[in-house]
Each structure stands twice: as C-alpha cells, then as structure tokens.
Structure 1
Amino acid sequence: MATKQPGVEPDQTPESLDECRRCALWKDATQAVPGAGPRHAPMMIVGEQPGDQEDLQGEPFVGPAGAMLDRALVEAGVARQEVYVTNAVKHFKWEPRGKRRMHKTPAQREIDACRYWLEQETGDVGPKVIVALGATALKSVLRNSKATLQATMGHAVEHEGHAIVATYHPSFALRAPDPETRERVYKAIVDALREAHRLVSRHHKAR
C-alpha cells in the first residue's frame, strides 16, 4: 500500500488556494496563483502552471510567456481584459539550476489534484470557449491523461458544453532553438486565438 506523503491530502476540499494541500507543490512555492479576469468571460485561457515571475507576483501570465501571450492576443484581435486566464496547476513546480529556479513539468497526480480548482473556475466563469495552452492544460481541461496536442490542434473539440481549442504554450516558442520554429509556434498560437474569438463571436450571434 502506498505511503501517504506528509503534508499532502488529495481528498481535501479547501475553501481557498492558500489552504490547499491536495498535492505537495505548495511546499516549495512562494504562493498559490489564482486565475484572473472577468467573472463571466466568454473565453478562458488555461496554461500549465505559474512560472517564476507569476510565483513571485501572485498573478498569472505576467512573465515572458505572458508577454508573448499578450502580443498574440493583440494580433488575434482579442482584448486581454475580456479573457479569463488561469493555469491547470496553481503552484510553481521548479528545480534549482545554479541561482535560478527552472520550470519542471507537473506530474499527472498534481494535475489531477489541482483539477479541483480548475473545475471551480470553469463553473464560476462559464466560458463558451476554452483555449488550452500546451499538453498539461489540455489533459486537465479534457480530464484525459492521454490527450495530445497533435491529435487536437487545428480543430475545436466539444467537451461538457465548451468548445476546446488547443495550441502550444508560449513558453514552447520562447524555448525554440531557431527563429523559424519560434515563428511557426507563435503563428499557431495566434491562429488558435483567432479561432477561439471566431467561436465566441458565433455564439453571440446565435443568441
């Protein structure tokens, strides 16, 4: 039988993120990072997890990836203030590399533990379209640990009353080894945001 990890309560139902002990990531994070945006935004953007700057500032998408997302939103004709932005995992998972804290991909058990919060946000906001940035976000949104970007990108997927649009996370473009790959990934992000915007507009017209 698996030994329970100290300080971890996967069945906990906390009322606030600061109280959350559903996985162990809270131990090494500065703080939990909640989502931000209008209560009833028609579009929700879900990333993987807070990065170094998000962990320090307590707000989502305020680091380099956030700056690229902002640029892509402008190019796609989407107003950031009309979008709810959040992450599949609310605490920064990292490993030391010299004096820097380097991103480490969340494990499936951490994604599963934090879905408690994403489902609350989705219920409160009620978006018509959810943009999943990266594989971790897609797995969480679809509640499917085997979901892949390759199988989902390029077309919207209906899931529990929401249209799901999947694309790369901006950090993937930032880590690209050459300008051509970076531009290709960035263009895919812009295209996905345009598609999400089109789906939102179509929903409004159908009302």
Structure 2
Amino acid sequence: MTTPHQDAGSGRDLTHDFDPRASETFTSAHALYKEMRATCPVAHSTTYDGGFWALFRHEDVKRVLDGRALFTTSVQNTVPKFAFTGRRPPLHFDPPEHTAYRRVINRFFTRDKMAALEPRAREYAVQLLRPLIEAGEGDVAIDYAQKFPAHVFASFFNLPTGLAELIKEISAAYVAAIQIVDTDNVVRLSRRLYEIAQAVIDERRADPMDPGQDLTSALMAAE
C-alpha cells in the first residue's frame, strides 16, 4: 500500500498510505477506514497538490479539533484546496477571530429560530418530493437532496425565490465540479456565488433589515 514520497520541506520520505481517488463501492470506504484504523491510523497521501495527512481514529481527530495551539484552519480547511479568494471568515479563522463571528451566527440557530423556519422547510420538502412520489420513481440525490438545502438556506437568509433557484443551480454545479476536481469550473462557479453574496450585501446596505431577524444584517452590524 505504501510508496516513498520526498517531502521537499523536511527532506523526509513520506509514504503514500492510501488513495482517496480510488474507485469505491457502497461499502468500500467503511472497509478502508476500518483497515486504516487498525494498520495506519495517521496516514499520508501524495495526491492533491503535494499531499495531505488523514486521521482515522476518534481520539486523534478530537485532539486536533481541541488543539488550536498546534493545528489551524487558517491555512487550509479542505482537501483538495479550492479556496482562491484568501481567508474566508469564519471558515478560515481560528479563535479568537472565529469567536467574534460565531457569537453572532449562534443567535440565529436557537430553538425558537429553527422552529420559525420549520414550516417553510416542510413546505419545500413537500414541493420537491411530491413529483417523485406521483411518478413512483426519481433520483432523490439530484431531484431532492441537491435542491432542498439551497431553498432552506435562501429562506434562512431572507432571499427571494428567484435568487434561491439561481443559487440552487450554481451550487449543484459547484458541488459536481468539486467531486470530480474540475478546478476551472470550481473557480468560475465560486466566483459567481461570491458575486451573488456581494449583491446581497449591497442590497442590505441600501435597504437594511432588522439585525435580529436577518443574519447578513447582523454580521454587518457587528464589531
């Protein structure tokens, strides 16, 4: 399973312990994770622009998540790396920078806020599932799972339905491009999503909403 790979920074020989791009079946990933936990719980792969490390044991993952003095998300937080617009708050921030954003965001995930969102989320679910049920078949991933989150997020962010549909289409294409590591399209579609986000911010500046009811307005008003 392993082959040597030279680390230009340290001069060490790193191994290629597993291939994240290997063909998969429905259960093969679980079998691989079980094997890695037993034989190579701290693994290295040489794929994706120089390689990366992967942890397969719960205690190791928890140690990383709790150890911000040693581990950071400010350099890179996904594999492969697709961020090309600099540090994106709060995903690329560590505490205490991250805490300032989280303090505002957490206010919109209370039990009361989620309860208020629930009727609209149920309505979207019915709208998307009804055609599949009536037809007696369908692709639940494409026709439901890819669409439902975009609608709910649009409702959560107080966006119009037309914009929700556009975000849905771009987001689905964006996810598909990530899955096949189509970097050019990831960049293009990511820029389009950023343009939409900027338009929403510009609209909130021109026509502010209640910061207690709109997360975008709350973040803009926070210090």
Give yes or no for TM over 0.5. Answer: no
Q: Shorter chain as normaliser: what TM range?
A: 0.3 to 0.5
- TM-score, normalising length from structure 1? 0.32
Higher relative contact order (CA 8 A, sep 6+): 1
| Structure whose CA Rg is larger | 2
Between Structure 1 and Structure 2, the one with more strand by share is 1
Between Structure 1 and Structure 2, the one with more helix by share is 2
